Amino acid sequence: MENFPIINLEKLNGAERANTMGMIKDACENWGFFELVNHGIPHEVMDTVEKLTKGHYKKCMEQRFKELVASKGLEAVQAEVTDLDWESTFFLRHLPVSNISDVPDLDDEYREVMRDFAKRLEKLAEELLDLLCENLGLEKGYLKKAFYGTKGPNFGSKVSNYPPCPKPDLIKGLRAHTDAGGIVLLFQDDKVSGLQLLKDDQWIDVPPMRHSIVVNLGDQIEVITNGKYKSVMHRVIAQTDGTRMSLASFYNPGSDAVIYPAPTLVEKAAEESKQVYPKFLFDDYMKLYAGLKFQAKEPRFEAMKAMEAELKVDPIASA
């Protein structure tokens, strides 16, 4: 099996730029995932985020998780659990409006650190979208504009901890799924592994690396690139030892953004008589995704295509 793609972003600034862009292109086309080093977010910022996130879990969430496990009898399960995940989570919204001030139990230092981290991640996400545009032959800013809607993108973080699990063969840390949105930036634990992606029908570990950011592409990138880049199924395997920290930040289209394949990429597909992905409102996709997250993505695209066809029906003829 070839090596998981690890990309040194610093190399974009020198003689190795073309080679690095080629590595990003290959990762987007063949993996849907890659891992960034030297991405510009200072190591000390990441160390503080990790320390405060783990501290917050210990102080505010660990006991609640133990009570949940006990109430559902999860430690004694004998058959595979298919309707819940072995994870303790909370969500932070950054854009269009932040909710960091309103989330209970966070101390002031943690709120401030997470605000700063979110701004850095937002900047990195937008830089990455422009690198994708460059590789796709789209004008700079195309993807950011496609995501914008009327109020700007949706951007938020899912803060997760995966405690030690007595039966990881029966309970997943997080069941297999593709991400619904745009581009995902993940700061994961470098000591406790568990994240895997599906490639060529095999589950492959995403290597934990200190101070790296793992990037993966969501369903909306697949639609806009008309399938040139694809979202990929991934999951988290619970571990018997150690608590795994995961901070996934989702840079997604605005709720009222209309998502459709980039016309220049459709022209190429038409020439090769390949399928064209549907056009839809991001919010409609998210409503559908909410109930179908842990199922294959293709029926979701088909459902959007059916909705699109209905919208195209002449309202007078169908009245």
Per-residue model confidence (pLDDT) at position 187: 98
Residue in the structure block whose two tokens are 């690095």: 20
Query: 36: which strand partners?
Result: 7, 213
- For the segment 126-148, what is each residue's pLDDT rounded down to a tens digit? 999 999 999 999 999 999 999 99
Per-residue model confidence (pLDDT) at position 178: 98
Measure the CA–CA gap between 221 and 180, rounded to whole angstroms: 9
Average pLDDT value over all residues in the chain: 94
- For the segment 261-314, what is each residue's pLDDT rounded down to a tens digit? 999 998 766 666 667 899 999 999 999 999 999 999 999 999 999 988 877 654
- In order of their start, the domains of the chain are 4-310 (2.60.120.330)
Q: Is 231 helix (H, G, I), strand (E, B) or coil?
A: coil
| pLDDT average, residue stretch 5-27 | 97
| pLDDT average, residue stretch 47-58 | 98
Per-residue model confidence (pLDDT) at position 313: 52
Per-residue model confidence (pLDDT) at position 309: 82
Measure the CA–CA gap between 141 and 280, rounded to whole angstroms: 20
| pLDDT average, residue stretch 311-319 | 49
Structure tokens at 217: 């592409």
Instruction: Specify whether the backbone of 82 is left (phi greater than 0), alpha (psi in -120 to 50) or beta.
Output: alpha
Task: Count other Cβ atoms within 10 Å, centred on residue 294.
Answer: 16
**CA of 139: how far to CAs of 208, 229, 252, 262, 303, in Å?**
34, 17, 19, 11, 30
Per-residue model confidence (pLDDT) at position 298: 95
